[in-house]
Amino acid sequence: MTDRRDLKGYFGADPAPCWPDGARLAVSFVVNVEEGAELSIGDGDPRNEPTYEIREEVEGVPDPCMESHFAYGTRRGHARIAEAFDRYGVRATYSTCGRAAERLPWLMQDIASRGHEVSCHGWLWERHAHMDRATEAADIARTHAAIAAACGTAPVGWHTRSASSVNTRDLLIERGDFLYDSDCYDDDTPRMQGGHVILPYAFDTNDMRFSPGGGFVQARDFSDYVIGAFDRLYAEGATAARMMSIGLHLRIIGRPGRIAGLETVLAHIAGHEGVWIAPRRDIAAHWAQVHGGGV
């Protein structure tokens, strides 16, 4: 039987440690910027986004309540997260929807001025699973152009909201201007597909678990879990190449009752030698250089 899925991965043959300056672990902080790109009838979309602190969908009419929940991320959450990163000298990847970049140029400029990467997160904050190939190609192109215009630098990374389509990665590779994508959750180590880098992402070390039923309630729930994952990967990194993704959202971890969770994680990581905290573009470029013959 020839299986279309690779369920073996690196089993029994982990790549050796390879990060710059002998680091044991590469750590990627990813801040998802979706505010203004969530589905909204008020913005001309066919329906409203139903998911936030609670699930309560308003059908057929604009939903100012949901829009207000999302606006918290840009109005208050961003400043708290950016200040925490600045305090610890962290450079992150801001995974940004195209419509958000288009309507928030001031935010894009602030992010870029602090030295962070801005990557692509779809035109709207929506799944691509049911998109036909032509529609998805157009969305990728539109998103890439919007971020390049807002930031003055062309993005090189992509991550779909949860469910990509069967065509997504092929479309990114065909364009030739994407170095990597993060549409995979199956490993703690990057891999190559030809000259394209696949950087694993994670939903467990992610503030999305503050959503109802997700398991996080207090700030320490987030920090305890993320620190536990960090400590394990740091130990494994002594003998194998390991990468850790920590997912954040402006409107979630940026809340006053939660931001301490991020600050605790940053302080813990800062207390360890041999950790490379870097934007995903840098991690992908390094992996390609070592394992793919350059970029």
Q: Where are the beta strands (DSSP E) in 12-80?
A: 25-33
Please report the pLDDT score of residue 2 as a whole number. Answer: 77
DSSP letter (8 states) at residue 102: H
Closest to 22 in 3D by CA, of 291, 233, 237, 197: 237
89-113: average pLDDT:
98
CA 285, 286, 287, 289 torsion: positive or negative? positive
Number of residues assigned to the chain: 295
Mean pLDDT of the region 68-97: 98
pLDDT, tens only, 206-251: 999 999 889 999 999 999 999 999 999 999 999 999 999 999 999 9
Which of 59-63, 96-100, 185-189 is the least confident region? 59-63
Cα(179)–Cα(184) distance, rounded to whole angstroms?
15
Q: 252: buried, middle or exposed (CB in 10 Å: 19+, 13-18, 0-12)?
A: buried
Please state at what angle helix 133-151 crosses helix 168-175, rounded to 10 degrees.
50
Instruction: Tell me what pLDDT residue 155 has.
Output: 98
Residue 257's pLDDT is what?
Answer: 98
Nearby residues of 274 by Cβ (< 8 Å), 6 or more positions away: 22, 23, 24, 25, 234, 237
Place of tokens 């998911």: 51
Cβ contact 284:243 at 8 Å: no
> So what's the pLDDT on residue 212?
86
pLDDT tens column, 153-171: 999 999 999 999 999 999 9
Q: What is the pLDDT of residue 90?
A: 98
Q: With CA atoms as reference, report the closest residue to 100 among 18, 31, 156, 168.
A: 31
Query: Which of 263, 246, 253 lies closest to 26, judged by CA?
Result: 246
- Could you report the per-residue pLDDT of 40-72, keeping only the tens digit for each? 999 999 999 987 766 777 899 999 999 999 999
Distance CA 287, CA 191 (A): 8
Query: What CA–CA distance (Å, rounded) separates 164 from 228?
Result: 29
Average pLDDT of the residues in 93-107: 98
pLDDT beyond 60 at 295: no
Question: Looking at this protein, which amino acid is placed at residue 131?
Answer: M
Return the bridge partners of 248, or none. 31
pLDDT of residue 57: 79
Percent of the chain with pLDDT over 90: 93
Q: What is the mean pLDDT of the chain?
A: 96
Q: What's the token pair of residue 272? A: 């360890």
0.95 cut: is pTM over it? Answer: yes
> Tell me, what's the pLDDT at 294?
56
- Output the six-digit token pair for 18: 């390879």
The hierarchical CATH code for the domain 20-291 is 3.20.20.370
In this prediction, residue 251 carries a pLDDT of 97
Distance of CA 270 to the CA centre of its chain: 21
Cα distance between residue 272 and residue 96, in whole Å = 30
Between CA 238 and CA 147 the distance in angstroms is: 37
Q: What is the pLDDT of residue 54?
A: 66
Gap between the terminal Cα atoms of the chain: 35
| Domain map (residue ranges) of the chain | 20-291
Helix (H, G, I), strand (E, B) or coil at 207: helix
